[in-house]
Amino acid sequence: LSYVVNLRNYIDRWDLECEFNNTDHRTDLNGVDRLIVRRGQVFTISLYLRSGNYQPGVGSLDLVAETGPQPSEQYGTRASFGLSADIDTSRWSAAVTGPPGDTLTLSICAAPDAPIGRYTLTLGASGQIEFILLYNPWCPDDAVYMDNEKSLEEYVLSQDGIIFRGSSKHPIATPWNFGQFESGILDICLRILDMNPKCLRNPGKDYSGRRNPIYVSRVLSAMVNCNDDKGVLLGRWTDDYEGGVSPMFWRGSVEILRNWDSQACQPVRYGQCWVFAAVACSISRALGIPCRVVTNYFSAHDTNGNLVIERYINENGEPIQSRDMIWNYHCWLESWMTRPDLKSEFNGWQASDPTPQEKSEGVYCCGPIPVRAIKEGDLMFKYDALFVFSEVNADVVTFRKNKDGSTSQVYSTAVVGQKISTKSVGSDAREDITHLYKYPEGSDEEREAFKKANHQNKLLHQQQNPGLHVTIKVTSDMSKGCDFDVFAVVTNNTQSEKKCRLLFGSCAVSYSGVTGGNCGFKDLLNVELPPGGERRVALRLNYSKYGALLTEDNLIRLGALLLDYTTKESTLAVRNIVLENPEIKVRILGEPKVNRKLAAEITLQNTLPVQLDNCCFTIEGANLTGGCVISETLNSSVGPGEDAKVKIYFTPSHSGLRKLVVDFNSSKLSHVKGYRNVIIGK
């Protein structure tokens, strides 16, 4: 073979060394039955020659890597290259790296900016191999490079996580199974890219765009919702979930993605913001983009782009629905990447939002926009800076509509963009990242950012404190099923006696701000306060009244409206409270080891004053339950104070720290979430 010019005639067969390569490229959790590698990183295959021995520097081999239906060197979806003396990780390259002999070790590297997706690699005339190429956040030349191993473990490799819901005063950790490495999920993620309208219109250009994580993140922002395309999820923000299931039903992304794939790309019904964000997170991690789900409490939905949320209340202080909304919380996605289209200071976390709220360039999508641009008030940058800026910074102006049709402004201290939260790296604790989006309130830096954003209303809108204060205080024992008191605290900070009227009400409310029925109301016509005086007014909330009115969010809106008889001024305090569900307790029976059957003993105490019927526990967990959902139904009812208790069996498939996600449903108590972290030994 030392006299042979072209190796292609002498290759008999090959071994893709999938187990070694996939492990080396951190894709082995997808399986080791096919080759899945990352760009900008060398992988090796073994070539078995028909006869003779290979001598370095003598043989040659022409290789062609192609992706997409219309591969083109112009679009970067086709690359032709031969053997080099050494691997060049900055471009497509190949080199023989093993010793001379009848078996060659061929090392290959994809360019660090190559489009991701399915590839064929032609080995001269000997045949073709197939592989999948992903983004590589471990490669310094990749646009998604992240220089922190613990962060990469969290934001790329972790298959489970925590999404924060509840309220700003009481964030509730909701477990989620991202499951990006479960069987078939990567193929579904690539199908989602193929079904996007840009690909259907011009596949060559779309496949070329997949080299750029900015482009792919924007495509995913549109494709996770189905408003303009064959996207994954249909949103629903009412109590009518006919033809589907409540968004609270989902425990993870795997079932959603598989349903979409098996139902001919028909949208899965239904999703809300945390579901949209979590599914987008699963897809992004599967493709190799570091990402995390973020929760913004008191999130503004500004429909007209004026950075002002105008809220209206009636004479009793009850909210009147309008297009501009303040959501109790809203979840979106942050993805890590460079922004070569902007200055380098805007590299890093980029916010994108797959929840369909407003159109961007004619499509229901949002972002990616650098989080730094939001903080600095740079609203001319791509994409959708104004909308995201308003979510965390919009001014809130409250008006009272009187019976005669007139309106009057009400003093209120509402502030949007509070306690912006995400899961901490390496633990289930909440990390507050508000400082990444906003400067401290009242600081010089905040004023500069607002000036740059032309947020004049917030700079000029300095309401004068009327001297009468009203705040809402609560106790710590607000559990679903209990009766409890909430308090309006009225303070007179003036030098004169005050006579006023206090309207203190409560109503059920969804997390997106849609109000429901009255849970309790009190109208005190004659509240007298001496100078510096304070009065505490209690409002009793009884389960017999609020129980049937609560949405699945377990939220109650408290509103206290104080009317000064002398000055005719009004002051409003609003607070949303979340009622705790009973705790789910999980005990693992047996020694947790790979491929060893385990039992989860799951218990929930019925803290409601009513009987629970049709009780069912459900579990799922990445590499714990075989990619499936496992359920167990109780045969009997559970009375007040009694325990619902089951054993559910499962067999772990991989070692490491795993999260077993648990869900409980019954006639009167539904979508109670819990979890248990389990360390699986080898």
Q: Is 226 a catalytic residue?
A: no
Contact call for residues 416 and 325 (beta carbons, < 8 A): no
End-of-domain residue from the set 578, 609, 626: 578
pLDDT at 52: 59
End-of-domain residue from the set 551, 578, 605: 578
Higher pLDDT, 464 or 210: 210
Confidence of residue 457 (pLDDT cuts 50, 70, 90): low
Q: Are residues 169 and 52 in the same domain?
A: no
Q: Are residues 440 and 472 in the same domain?
A: no
Confidence of residue 464 (pLDDT cuts 50, 70, 90): low
475 by DSSP, 3-state: which? coil
The residue segments making up the domain with residue 591 are 584-680
Mean pLDDT value across residues 514-539:
95
Distance of alpha carbon 646 from alpha carbon 652, whole angstroms: 19
Q: Is 357 exposed, middle or buried (0-12, 13-18, 19+ CB in 10 A)?
A: buried
Q: Are residues 227 and 121 in the same domain?
A: no
Higher pLDDT, 258 or 408: 258
Q: Choose the catalytic residue: 139, 273, 507, 519.
A: 273
Residue 227 lies in a domain: yes
> Token pair 């599914």 is at which residue?
279
Q: Are residues 480 and 605 in the same domain?
A: no
Q: Are residues 53 and 125 in the same domain?
A: yes
Q: Are residues 471 and 450 in the same domain?
A: no
At 651, phi and psi to the nearest 5?
A: -130, 110
Q: Are residues 626 and 505 in the same domain?
A: no
Q: Annotated binding site for Ca(2+): which residue ranges?
A: 393, 395, 441, 446
Q: Is 628 a catalytic residue?
A: no
Residue 638 lies in a domain: yes
Contact call for residues 470 and 445 (beta carbons, < 8 A): no
Residue 140 lies in a domain: no
End-of-domain residue from the set 555, 578, 601: 578
Q: Does the pLDDT value for residue 522 go beyond 60? A: yes
Q: Does the pLDDT value for residue 100 go beyond 90? A: no
- What is the number of structural domains in the chain? 4
Q: What is the DSSP string of 505-556?
A: EEEEE-TTS-EEEEEEEEEEEEEEE-TT-EEEEEEEE-HHHHTTT--TT-EE
Q: Does the pLDDT value for residue 4 go beyond 50? A: no
Q: Are residues 414 and 512 in the same domain?
A: no
Q: Choose the catalytic residue: 142, 353, 384, 564.
A: 353
Least confidently predicted of 2-6, 48-52, 414-418, 573-577: 2-6
Contact call for residues 674 and 648 (beta carbons, < 8 A): no
Q: Is 170 a catalytic residue?
A: no
- Closest C-alpha among 476, 534, 454, 474 to residue 502: 534
Q: Are residues 486 and 414 in the same domain?
A: no
Q: Does the pLDDT value for residue 490 go beyond 90? A: yes
Q: Is 392 exposed, middle or buried (0-12, 13-18, 19+ CB in 10 A)?
A: buried
pLDDT at 442: 81
Residue 81 lies in a domain: yes
Mean pLDDT value across residues 512-526:
94
Residue 319 lies in a domain: yes
CATH code for the domain in which residue 67 is found: 2.60.40.10
pLDDT at 531: 94
Q: Are residues 530 and 640 in the same domain?
A: no
Per residue in 307-341, pLDDT (tens digit) is 888 889 998 888 888 878 899 999 999 999 999 99
Q: Are residues 189 and 270 in the same domain?
A: yes
- Tell me, what amino acid is at 149? E
Residue 288 lies in a domain: yes
Residue 309 lies in a domain: yes
Residue 139 lies in a domain: no
Per residue in 549-602, pLDDT (tens digit) is 999 999 999 999 999 999 999 999 999 999 999 999 999 999 999 999 999 999
pLDDT at 305: 77
Q: Are residues 338 and 363 in the same domain?
A: yes
Q: Choose the catalytic residue: 25, 301, 330, 455.
A: 330
CATH code for the domain in which residue 409 is found: 3.90.260.10
